[in-house]
Copies of this chain bind each other. A is one copy, B any other.
């Protein structure tokens, strides 16, 4: 239940949907950062990224397609 009070409520899943096929940056609970094109997600905020680059401290790795469990995600930053 999201209230409408003359303004707009943007549902988080709607922002995810608008980010489809665009680059997003995910911060995970273990401090890793994943950057990649968001190609999918579900209601639990499980996500699918393509062309993913993983950053952990100084280390950067290209890991391609990734399925990510939503409960490991802290923040999602659309480009």
B13 touches A42 (CB 8 A): yes
Q: A2-B42, A14-B40 are in contact. Are A72 and B72 (CB under 8 A)?
A: no
- In the docked arrangement, what's the CA distance between A34 and B77, Å? 12
B70 touches A75 (CB 8 A): no
Main secondary structure of the interface of A (DSSP, over half): mixed
B17 touches A74 (CB 8 A): no
Q: Does A67 sit within 8 A of B, measured CB to CB?
A: yes
Q: A2-B43, A66-B76, A74-B69 are in contact. Are A20 and B12 (CB under 8 A)?
A: no
A residues near B (Cβ < 8 Å) are 1-3, 5, 7-18, 20-21, 28-30, 34, 39-43, 45-48, 63-78
